[in-house]
Amino acid sequence: MHRTRQSALTLALSTLSAIVLSACGGHDSSDSSTPPTDTTPPQSTVAANSLQAMVYGAADTSVPAGAGIPVTMMGQMRALFDLIRKSPDFTQVVMDLGDGSPVHVLDTNTGDKFLPGKLALGLSWILIDMKAKGDPKYADYLATYQKITTAMMAQSASGDYAYANTSWGEYYYLVALNNLKARGMLNEVFSDAMLNTLQNRLTFCDMFGPDASGKANTCPASGVAIDVASLNTAQNYYAVSYGIAGLRQKLGWSNPGFFAASDPTVATMGARDALLYTLTKHIRNDSSGGFSDEASNTHTTYYDQARFDRYSTLLIAETVERSLEMDNQANLTAELKGYLRKSVDLILPQLNANGQGFNYGRSIGPYGDSAFMEILTAAANANVLTPKEMQVAYAFIEKAAYRFNTFWYDPSLPTPSVNMWVKGRGTDTYRGKPRVMGENFSLLHQYMYVNAWWNKLGFSGQAPMADADFNSWLDALPHYTLTYYNLPSDSAHPYSAALLTVRDGSRVINLNLSQAPDYNSFSPYYPVPFSDKLIYGTTDLGYALLIPQVTYNGKTYIPVTYYKNLSVQESNGQVTVSFDATKFRQATKNAAYTTDLDLQTHTVLTFAHGTVTRTDTLSSATLAGSVAVETDFASFADFASTNANADGVSVTYANSPATAYATTGFDACALSNFDVANGTTNPLSTTPVGQLHSNFACKTNAFTLGGGAQRSFSWTLKYAG
């Protein structure tokens, strides 16, 4: 099949010259809703620590003196464009991350269904910049851009496309088209024939259906409606389809209509407004706290809903941003702005001087940082930040950009790139290494458009507030903040779902309680405190990380849902959290709820300065047979500098934020090197921010627990800084 698709691509490449040559040099009127390039400040006024310096840099996109970064984001984007441009066949472009398995990143089988849109958008930033500066190489880069975009939209005689480009890919492409139109470049870059192809292909229809034949839906004939309730993917994709519909409308392209028998109101609306209406209902109805429940589309009862993570907080910001870029500000209601303010209130207590974002849940890493940035930018544009918060937001975003340029971007790789995959880092299967090219472009675009908005907001080239003032603001934040996703009074959601954020000096610690169906067996969703370089989960995998993992009848069970009786108290500078887990879940992905174990734990976590302590008291009224319990702590500390103590139940660390870890209630503990398993890198050891090196596993012998018997286990982690 791959050979067939590649043949179709080869055929398409042979016809490129005629298509590219048909492009004409028309001029489009400017559109002020897209952040324009004329907000770019004169180079002499750009502060070295400004967001503009991190993203664009000097006039030639080089690093300004004093910026302290290896390369600007525009420099990164230009290098990727050059990598493609210099290849005789762009489908054979290779990116080498130094792990012995280079990737053909623009092949047709990367698995990145958004790749054509990501390239069209990412590379368009370079064209826009070159055109504005009168760069003499513009025509050469334009020709390469036209070759790539045309080939990636190619269709064979059988009707198959060489490259998939769905949902996000369609949205990205439409952002590029609108950005080019706003600069008067659309008809210079794309021929009428190509624009006709794009108009027919860049739709949201593939997210609805499937059709009667079982294939992905294609847009029906003009005037025929499709069912808005037939979304065939996660409900957050209503925001993607909303973006597509609005950006098509902004280009003057028509949209299919919608109907929904359960809600006739939708039938009276155009696609853009129908999708916003439906998306608003999702956020309103699927939690009582204003955060989107990202499991609500595939699960039907309260106990298997309630996945709250990065996207639950980010979705409303994306909705606001889409509204702004499509000129739909009039529909940014007080309700939507209220939801956005809730997201702001959740992340403000997590802000820090290092530009780090979400540290729990899935799909974080650099996207955890950029999510904070996108939420704050949407809030600034929607006027839901105070003047002081505007200054704080800009300061944090500049730090996030600096972190991207100095931590996530790795110029030492054989092919310099954002790094989510090597040197001890690991990410979701969803963002696997074959998608490395697309991930570079989508992340860089996020910073590009955010910088453009802050330029437009009046921060063009400005230095952020002084570090002393920023740190003073951080120091004044509450010691802890409790944010409910579902309000305690909500009888439709009887289990607790909330985020606790504790600040200990400059350290931010998050405890996220979420049902997380489909993901609750993975450690990033465990009810444990996460904090940078101290405690981190491993994507798509689980082990006994700081929870009492139970073995019973040859199967493993964990207390990762069914939370009740959540209580948070502060006394004498200590924050004490208690909650109950009323059942244990089988520790496998998508475990049936009928396999839940009648086992309870009462959990108490205490946060003091430099110390976190957890005690679990296990009990069961009915459990027969014996159980065994294990709890692990895997540390970023080097194994060579980690020492088990003579007492057999504690360990000390050096050269690490963690300094000591001790347990009670277990029969034996063992320290091991966590890096390697069976001669290869241990997949459990690769977190989004780096490799875990040592593991201290504490276990019990088999014991009985039934008839109301109890047994308690505890651990204490001490840390510095």
pLDDT tens digits along 149-162? 999 998 876 778 88
Kindly indicate the confidence band of residue 691, based on its pLDDT and cuts at 50, 70 and 90.
Answer: very high
So where are the chain's domains?
Answer: 211-308, 309-477, 479-719
Q: Could you name the CATH architecture of 479-719?
A: Distorted Sandwich (2.70)
Average of per-residue pLDDT across 339-355: 97
Q: Which residues of 122-150 are buried (b: 16+ CB within 10 A; e: fewer)?
A: bbbbbbbbbbeeeeeebeebbebbbbbbb
Other Cβ atoms closer than 10 A to 423: 14
Helix/strand/coil for 486 = strand
How high is the mean pLDDT of the chain? 89
pLDDT band at 305 (very low <50, low <70, confident <90, very high): confident
Per-residue pLDDT, averaged over 581-603, amounts to 92
Tens digits of residue pLDDT in 202-240: 999 889 886 445 555 667 655 567 888 888 888 889 999
Helix (H) or strand (E) holding 673: strand 668-673
Does this model's pTM top 0.85? My answer is: yes
Kindly indicate the confidence band of residue 16, based on its pLDDT and cuts at 50, 70 and 90. Answer: very low
pLDDT score recorded for residue 162: 85
Q: Does residue 522 surpass a pLDDT of 90?
A: yes
Q: What are the structure tokens assigned to 138, written together?
A: 């513009």
Q: What percent of the chain has pLDDT over 90?
A: 74
Tokens of 624: 């027969």
CB 242 within 8 A of CB 275: yes
- Give the residue carrying structure tokens 């392209």: 253
Whether 208 and 227 have beta carbons less than 8 Å apart is answered as: yes
168-177 mean pLDDT: 97
pLDDT score of 33 more than 60: no
